[in-house]
């Protein structure tokens, strides 16, 4: 994918605050490319997901090819290349959570939000029609002592039951 082939409708640039944060970040590493992950996190927080415009901008900032940025974005599950809901709900389904009935939580969320579970290549599948929620399964969130757990955006919710899920969603 050469740079000319990327169709960019609206160019992307960091807002002032994020630009400041980026300027601080880049000074931490002896090579610019190393700031890739924090820069992409920053960009995703601003843009919602990683658009081609974001990739192009990040590539310019870090002085690498767009392909290289794309290469990284596709590797890491936390970077989205499609729009996601306002609330991203991550349900842990690895063994310790499975032993504590995470399936009940997952099924309850599916029914309540009336949506399927997103896959990494099809986020729309797990996004509600109103664009409010994206439901996805993730691997162990390192909180197995309080299983089953989910994360909604940056917050962790512990020891869940169907009733607790209702309560949490009502209070969002």
Partner 1 sequence: MVEERRILYEHLDVPDINTFDVFRQYDGYTRFEKAIAEYQPEEIAQMVKDSGLKGRGGAGFSTGEKWSFVPRDIEPRYLCCNADESEPGTFSNRYVLEKNPHLLIEGILICCYAMGIETTYVYIRGEFTLGKKMLDAAIKEAYEKGYLGKDVRGTGLNIDIYTHPGAGAYICGEETGLIESLEGKRGQPRNKPPFPAVQGVFMKPTVVQNVETLCNLPFIVGNGVEWYTEMGPTYADTRFDPPKPDANTGTKLYCISGDVNEPGVYELDLGLTCSELIEVAGGLRGEEVKAVIPGGSSAPILTHYELDTRLDFTSLTLAKSMLGSGGIIVMNETRNIVDCLLNIMKFYAHESCGQCTPCRWGTPWVRDIVQRIADGDGRKDTITRPKFGVAENGRWGDTGETEEIYEDLDLLESVANNIANVDTMTWNTICVFGIAVSWPAVSYMRKFRPEFEAAIREGKLVTLPVAEATVPPEENYAYQQRFIPKEFADL
* CB closer to partner 1, 109 vs 150: 150
Q: Pattern of binders to partner 1 over 5-44, x per CB under 8 A? A: -----------------------x-xx-xxxxxx-xx---
Q: In Å, how far are 4, 16, 61, 79, 170 from 23, measured between CA atoms?
A: 27, 11, 10, 21, 39
Round to the nearest angstrom and report the end-to-end CA distance of the chain: 41
* Residue from 58, 113, 135, 141 in contact with ligand FES (CB under 6 A): 141
Among 1, 13, 95, 172, interactor with partner 1 by CB under 8 A = 95
Task: Note whether 96 binds ligand FES by CB under 6 A.
Answer: yes
Q: Is 92 in the site for ligand FES (CB under 6 A)?
A: yes
Among 105, 109, 123, 149, binds ligand FES (CB under 6 A): 149
Among 6, 8, 124, 144, binds partner 1 (CB under 8 A): 144
- The size of the chain, in residues, is 172
| Residue given tokens 């924090």 in the structure block | 38
Task: Residue 149: name its binding partner from ligand FES, partner 1, none (Cβ under 5 to 8 Å by kind).
Answer: ligand FES
Measured CA distances, 118 to 17, 81, 88, 132, 172 (Å): 32, 13, 10, 14, 21
The partner residues of 90 in beta bridges, in order of sequence, read 136, 151
């Amino acid at each position: 994918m050469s740079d000319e082939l990327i169709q960019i409708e609206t160019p992307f640039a960091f807002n002032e605050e994020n630009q400041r944060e980026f300027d601080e970040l880049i000074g931490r590493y002896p090579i610019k490319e190393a700031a890739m992950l924090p820069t992409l996190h920053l960009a995703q927080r601003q843009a919602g997901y990683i658009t081609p415009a974001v990739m192009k901008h990040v590539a310019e900032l870090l002085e690498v090819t767009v392909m290289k940025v794309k290469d990284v974005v596709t590797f890491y599950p936390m970077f989205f290349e499609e729009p996601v809901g306002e609330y991203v709900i991550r349900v842990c389904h690895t063994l310790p959570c499975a032993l504590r009935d995470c399936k009940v939580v997952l099924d309850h969320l599916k029914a309540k939000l009336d949506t399927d579970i997103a896959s990494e290549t099809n986020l729309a599948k797990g996004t509600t029609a109103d664009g409010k929620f994206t439901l996805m399964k993730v691997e162990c969130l390192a909180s197995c002592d309080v299983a089953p757990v989910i994360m909604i955006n940056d917050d962790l919710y512990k020891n869940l039951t169907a009733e607790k899920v209702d309560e949490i969603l009502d209070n969002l």
